[in-house]
A = this chain, B = another copy of it.
Amino acid sequence: MAQRAKISDVAERAKVSVTTVSLVLNGRGEQIPKETQNRVFQAAAQLNYQPNELARSLKTNQSMTIGCITDHIVSGPHAGGVIMGAQELAWAQGRLLLVVNTEDDAELEQSALEMMKRRRVEGILYTTDSMHVIQVPAGLTDLPIILVNCYDPHSPIPAVIPDEFKGGETATQTLIDEGHRRIAFIDGTPPLEANIERLAGYRAALEASQVSVEQDLIPVVPWTPSGGYQATKYLMELTPPPTALLCVNDWVALGVYEALKELNLRIPDDVAVMGYDDQRLASLMMPGLTTMALPHYQMGLKAIEYLMEMSANPEKSKSIPYLTKIPCPVIRRESV
């Protein structure tokens, strides 16, 4: 454990006071002669000195730490992406992330929160795997907090979420731009918040292009591969059949592919297919599935941006919008 050296050791070795060492090592030694500074740096290096952040935090009352609570870190790319974005910006500001995964255990969530408060985290980023409405655990109000991919209608806590509406719109527009006019939307049930928005975006885009919305072209099925399979079989029997299928998510698209293959229809030549979520399987499908990505990374980034603002200036907390919607980018592959 070479890093046991402390500031007084460095001071002693450099033959200066701890004040000087502190000043120099923290880059606030402008008034100290280069020569002295060098002695300090050298001493620190020789001792392999690593300042004790715990002591520093205690003194400065800044933990340089942000808490991150996720419900499911492992089930998909979501939490990872958010953490990645969050960490990157946090890191740039010298902060590190304390991560706790709760697996929906409310009790654990509560104590995790408490643990984080005890460690004096500067803020909390609370993120859920799939976009939905939540009930924020109690005691989340006495410290900066941002919700990611979820929001609580009963509390004023700011949330950063994907712009699913615009996503649905963009996806549809993408298809329109390719010349499609009969575009089906394979909707999923049970109806998640996100699905509803995506559908609304689809309608909006069609209307904006003066394409009439036909209820026939909006089958509702379980949002799984077999749902997509069924929907496709149904849709392709319409006269005329749609030329493009927009799926509420990538899983559904998987079943769509299956059905289309059975019908001997080629993607994208005979019919174009679009998914949503950019799951990993999207890139593996043949042909690669064109889809809408969820802005995990960007949301993580934004959340930290807000959090840092809030902790730097508590007054500002009031000025953070209740909902911040981040656009979903199109991921172009070969299915359109």
Q: Which of B2, B83, B108, B118 contacts A101 (CB 8 A)?
A: B83
> Is the C-beta of A134 less than 8 angstroms from some C-beta in chain B?
no
Stretch of A36-44, A213-221, A267-275, A280-288 contacting B (4+ beta carbons < 8 Å): A280-288
Residues A118 and B53 in contact, CB atoms below 8 Å apart:
yes
Q: Bits for A62-94, please: 1 = Cβ < 8 Å to B, else 0.
A: 010100100001111101110110010001000
> Is the C-beta of A197 less than 8 angstroms from some C-beta in chain B?
no
- Interface of A, secondary structure class, is helix
Q: Bits for A113-157, please: 1 = Cβ < 8 Å to B, else 0.
A: 011111110000000000000000000001100000000000000
Residues A120 and B284 in contact, CB atoms below 8 Å apart:
no
Taken together as a complex, chains A and B put the C-alpha atoms of A52 and B58 apart, in Å, by: 9
Q: Which of B63, B80, B261 contacts A73 (CB 8 A)?
A: B80
Q: Which residues of B contact A52 (CB under 8 A)?
A: 58, 118, 120
Q: Which residues of B contact A96 (CB under 8 A)?
A: 98-100, 115-116, 119
* Given the contacts A53-B118, A80-B80, A251-B284, A87 and B58 also touching, CB distance less than 8 Å: no
Residues A79 and B80 in contact, CB atoms below 8 Å apart:
yes
> Is the C-beta of A10 less than 8 angstroms from some C-beta in chain B?
no
CB distance from A250 to the nearest CB of B (A): 9
Q: Which residues of B contact A2 (CB under 8 A)?
A: 142
18 A-B interface contacts by CB (under 8 A): A3-B117, A52-B118, A53-B115, A54-B58, A54-B119, A54-B120, A58-B58, A74-B83, A75-B77, A75-B280, A83-B99, A84-B101, A84-B103, A96-B99, A97-B99, A98-B98, A280-B280, A280-B281
Q: Which residues of A contact B (CB under 8 A)?
A: 1-3, 50-55, 57-58, 63, 65, 68, 73-77, 79-81, 83-84, 87, 91, 96-101, 103, 108, 112, 114-120, 142-143, 224-226, 251, 254-255, 258, 261, 279-281, 284, 286, 296
Q: Which 10 A-B pairs have CB atoms at the shortest separation, nearest pair first?
A: A74-B80, A73-B80, A281-B281, A53-B118, A99-B99, A53-B119, A54-B58, A54-B57, A50-B118, A74-B81
